[in-house]
Amino acid sequence: MNSQSFRTKCVHAGTLKDAHSRGSNTPIYTSTSYGYLDREVVYPRYFNIPNAEALGARIAALENTEAGLVLSSGMAAISSTLFAFLKQGDHALFQKGLYGGTFNMVTRELERFGISHTIVSDNSPETFEREIRKETRLLYIETPSNPLLAITDISAVAGFAHKHGLVSVIDNTFASPVNQNPAELGIDIVIHSATKYLGGHHDICAGVVAGTTEHVQLIRHMAISLGGSLNAQTCYLLERSIKTLAVRVSVQNSNAGQLARWLSEQSWISRVNYPGLEHHPGHETAKKQMKGFGGMLSFELREFDPIRFQKNLKLISPSVSLGGVDTVICSSVLTSHRHLTAEERKQEGISEQLLRLSVGIEDVNDLMEDLAQAVK
C-alpha cells in the first residue's frame, strides 16, 4: 500500500469491500450490538466497528504510520493522547503558539490531575533543552501554528525528543497529510482535527490519531474510558471526503499562495502570515519539511475595523472552523482564542486586528475582489 501514490491512497486505502452487493464504497454498519462468541467484542465505544477500523486504516496510509484511530473531535484526539501518556507527577513540554482549545486544556486542566507543563518561550531545540526535567515525558508541537502560521523544525524537535526518551506529538491539522507527513520526520504521534481539511466541507466533526500500533493502542484504551467515539455515519462521511483530499488541498495551496502575495502588497494590510512567503521567518524550514505551504493564512488590518471588514464581505463568510471548500474568515480573539485572557493573547502575539483566512477552492480573483471591496 505504501508504494501507491498519495492520491491513490486517498481514494482507495482502507476501503471495505461489500461482498454482498459488490458496491464500490464501504458500507455503513449501523449496529451498536454485535455477536461476541469466538471473536473480539465489537462495540462503537471500543473504536472497533467496521467503519471506524476502515477509516483508521486510511488515515494510517495517508500519514505512513502503522495504525490510525478516529475519534469524535480534534480535542478528543488531543485529550486522549495526553492522558494516555501522562500521569500524576509527570511533566510535559508544549511549544509556543498553540491552538486556543489546546492552550485552554493545557493551562486550565492538566494541573488539576497533577500533571505539570511548560510552554516554551520559543520553539527551538535549545529552548526545549533548557526546560526539560527528569519527570518530563512528552513533547507537543503544532506546525504551522494556529493562527500565526509559525513554523517549528519537526526533525529537530523529533530528534530532541528521541534523545531524551520523550513521546513526541504533533497537531498536523493546518498542514494536512497532503502537505506534511511528520512521522517520516521522526514524530511519534500525529493528530488532526478531521473537522478541518480531512472533512473539507464544514459538515462533520471528528479527530484522528496516527502512529505506531503500540502507541495507537495505548491512546485507544484511554479513549475507551473517555468515550470519544465516532458514529458509523460520520465515519462514512469522513471516508468519502478524504477521497477528494488531495485535489481539494492542491487548489487551496495555490489560492492561498496567490492571496498571501497579493495581500502583502495592499496598503490596508500591515502584516501577512504565510509560510510560503519568502520573508516569513519559518520559510526555509517550511520548504524543507512541507510539500506545499497550505491553505491557511492570517493578516492584520492596518486601521480598518475588523468586525466591519468581515460584515462588508459578500463572498467570504465570517465563520468558525477551517479547511472547507468555501473560504471563511474569523477573528481569533473572538473564536479559537476567546478563552485566553487579554494578557495571554498579547503574549501569543494575537491582536484585535488579526484575521485568520481559510482559503477555499473558489476562483482566486473572486476572492481578491471580495477582500478589496470590504475596505471601501
For 110-143, write each residue's pLDDT tens digit. Answer: 999 999 999 999 999 899 999 999 999 999 999 9
Of 45, 240, 271, 291, the catalytic one is 45
Give the side-chain half-sphere CA count within 13 A for 119: 16
pLDDT band for 1, please (50, 70, 90 cuts): very low
Q: Does residue 77 contact residue 208 with C-beta atoms inside 8 Å?
A: yes
Of 29, 58, 99, 137, the catalytic one is 99
> How does DSSP classify residue 271?
E
Q: Is the pLDDT of residue 249 over 90?
A: yes
Q: What is the DSSP string of 58-94?
A: HHHHHHT-SEEEEESSHHHHHHHHHHHH--TT-EEEE
Of 196, 220, 248, 356, the catalytic one is 196
For 269-320, write each residue's pLDDT tens digit. Answer: 999 999 999 999 999 999 999 999 999 999 999 999 999 999 999 999 999 9
In sequence order, which residues have a C-beta less than 8 Å from that of residue 44 and are 6 or more positions away?
32, 52, 229, 231, 232
Which H helix or E strand runs over 190? strand 189-193
Which is nearest to 232 in space by CA: 70, 81, 40, 79?
70
Query: Average pLDDT of the chain?
Result: 95
Q: Does residue 116 contact residue 93 with C-beta atoms inside 8 Å?
A: no
Produce one character per residue of 314-330: b if its CB has 16 or more CB atoms within 10 Å, e if not. ebbbbbebbbbeebbbb
- Cell 531545540 -> residue: 125
Rounded average pLDDT over 90-95: 98
Does the annotation mark 34 as catalytic? no
Annotation: CATH topology of 246-373? Aspartate Aminotransferase, domain 1 (3.90.1150)
Of 171, 197, 220, 345, the catalytic one is 171
Cα–Cα distance, 194 to 173 (Å, whole number): 8
Q: Does residue 157 contact residue 128 with C-beta atoms inside 8 Å?
A: yes
Rounded average pLDDT over 323-335: 94
pTM for the whole structure: 0.95
Which is nearest to 357 in space by CA: 284, 279, 255, 244?
255
Which is nearest to 144 in space by CA: 131, 136, 153, 135?
153
Annotation: CATH topology of 6-242? Aspartate Aminotransferase; domain 2 (3.40.640)
Does the annotation mark 99 as catalytic? yes
Q: Could you give the 3-state DSSP secondary structure of residue 192? A: strand
For 179-238, write each residue's pLDDT tens digit. Answer: 999 999 999 999 999 999 999 999 999 999 999 999 999 999 999 999 999 999 999 999
Q: How many residues does the chain have?
A: 376
Residue spans of the domains in the chain: they are 6-242, 246-373
**What local confidence, expressed as pLDDT, does residue 3 receive?**
78
Q: What is the DSSP string of 8-28?
A: HHHHHTTPPP-TTT--SS---
